[in-house]
Structure 1
Amino acid sequence: MESYILFFIIAVATILSPGPGVILTLTNAIRYGTSGAIGGILGIAFGTFIVAGVSATSLGVILATSAVAFSIMKYIGARRPNKSKPALEVRKTESFSLLRA
């Protein structure tokens, strides 16, 4: 009976606390308005759909039991084909006129 009470307390706390998806949606809605929050909402929905698909197809069981399959999925997930410029680019200049007093 103790396990059920503990489970109930943890379940209620989990349900009542906002998750990262809610925080992201609220932050984007406050900063950018309703239209700015749509991208985050769609991303969260797509990620949830992927997790549900993995669970429904029993791919999770295969990944849990096969180290090779798990390593392949890690490699696919970590590979990010992005050919754009880096987010932070340091430019070297020959003149430091802005730093001189």
Structure 2
Amino acid sequence: MEFVIPGTANLGLFVVAAVALLLVPGLAVLFIVARSVEQGRLAGFVSDLGIHSATLVHVLAAALGLSAVLASSAIAFSIVKYVGAAYLIWIGLRKIFGGSKGGDAEATPARHSYRRLYRDGFLVNLLNPKTALFFLAFLPQFVDVSRGHVATQIVFLGLVFTGLGFISDGCYALVASAAGKWLKQSRTYLNFERYVSGVIFIGLGLTAAFAGNHRK
């Protein structure tokens, strides 16, 4: 089976959007920060590896679930596109108006084996339905149907996102191992993160809804 990737323009937009999203701390980052604060950088990296191993599972699921639908019908593609855009906007609104929960990143002080850290990171991401829905909403926005092989394009975009995510979350592990405690406990930081991430998600949703893909 031929492996097709999106066009240069779509790929460039995807990388910019992915980096913007990954710079916003979310559940995975808070989990990595907590583990890094507790047990050091290596623990953070192992947790990072577990989380993004599960990301690959979500990418594969998105590719298998969407490829036939997106390739078969312009109407079906538009439905996925606009439902996905609405979902991204809803995430942003919920982040802004839903309040912050400072206790989400709290963890027990006990030290865990690296095998346990990997397993916990994997399960945290694998069992989070929001991650699966996010990929269903986000990846199709950057697929070029005219190039064909929609499934392989989605897999490629997912691999790029996973690689960027592993690197960015690894940077959080580095910082958190030395100075991450205030990220986990500061109410000011949590409020700031809530508004910034909300605006970014809303902006991505509006861009996805109104950007000209011009598919026939």
TM-score by length of 1: 0.50
More helix by percentage: 2
Q: Quick check: which has more Rg, 1 or 2? A: 1
Kindly indicate whether structure 1 or structure 2 has the higher relative contact order, using CA contacts under 8 Å at least 6 residues apart. 2
